[in-house]
Amino acid sequence: MSDAEIAQRALRCLDLTDLTDNCTDQAIDTLCQKARDPRGPVAAVCVWPQFVVRARETLRGAPVRIATVVNFPAGGEDVERVTDDVREALSDGANEIDLVLPYEALRRGDTTLVSEMIEAVREVVDQGRLLKVILETGQLDDPALIEMASRLAIDAGADFIKTSTGKTPVSATPEAAEIILHAIKASGRPVGLKPSGDIRTLADVKTYLDLAERIMGPGWATPKTFRLGASSVYDELIAAIEGRAGTAPAGTY
């Protein structure tokens, strides 16, 4: 595929995100305007819960989905509070919930709590709306923990597994994504992957697309099974689609 074709494909799989601490209504309006770009549109916007209503109103009539985050970014352990937050977000109009797995509980071996939280949120997030489980792989320093977290998320009903919040020193890595993809493939279930954070160039994008195609098969990576949490790459994708100079060359994993 040409760089323009890769960029077009990636743009349609993008979760265009603003989770900055100083986000404003005006920033959400700008985000939603980008999301509706005719060269896309992107798959979803991902915003703080307090901006879900704003995004819903701004995107009215567009095919762009609205995602929001819960238990974010710390990965707390209060199941009841998290489910209450999910209910409120869904009531405000969210189509997708990005839940941070309680990764410290996993690190100390409390898999029961991990499963309980994901299952409780899954029960609230009904059909037609998606549950993405964020593993925070940069904090799971043992590949076996990433594999375990992936299996727990899949078994508890996740629609997607997301690598990271983007709020820790290490976000998405090809190594973590590969572990997740192998877990998805072994499960035989229709679960997607969302690499998130530290994806800044077209070469980075192609790394993850190539990885998904190699493990899951050609054509697997579509907005229904593959998302990119990579807003910083948006301008480069647009430049590549338009054939403008200055884009980084696409790489290979």
Q: What is the mean pLDDT of each run of 10 residues along the chain (253 residues)?
A: 95 98 98 94 98 98 98 98 98 98 98 98 94 98 96 98 97 98 98 97 97 97 97 95 66 32
Give the pLDDT score at 246. Answer: 52
Which residue carries 């990433």 as its tokens? 146
Residue 117 lies in a domain: yes
Give the pLDDT score at 253. Answer: 26
Strands 192-194 and 96-100, how do they pair? unpaired
Residue 64 lies in a domain: yes
Residue 89 lies in a domain: yes
Give the pLDDT score at 128. Answer: 85
Q: What is the dihedral of CA 237, 55, 164, 194, to 10 degrees?
A: -60
Alpha-carbon distance of 231 to 37, in angstroms, equals 14
Residue 174 lies in a domain: yes
Q: Read off the pTM.
A: 0.95
Tell me how far the alpha carbon of residue 72 is from its chain's centroid: 13
Identify the domain containing residue 206 by its residue range: 3-242
Active site residues: 98, 162, 194
Residue 198 lies in a domain: yes
Here the tokens at position 119 are 């299952």
Residue 252 lies in a domain: no
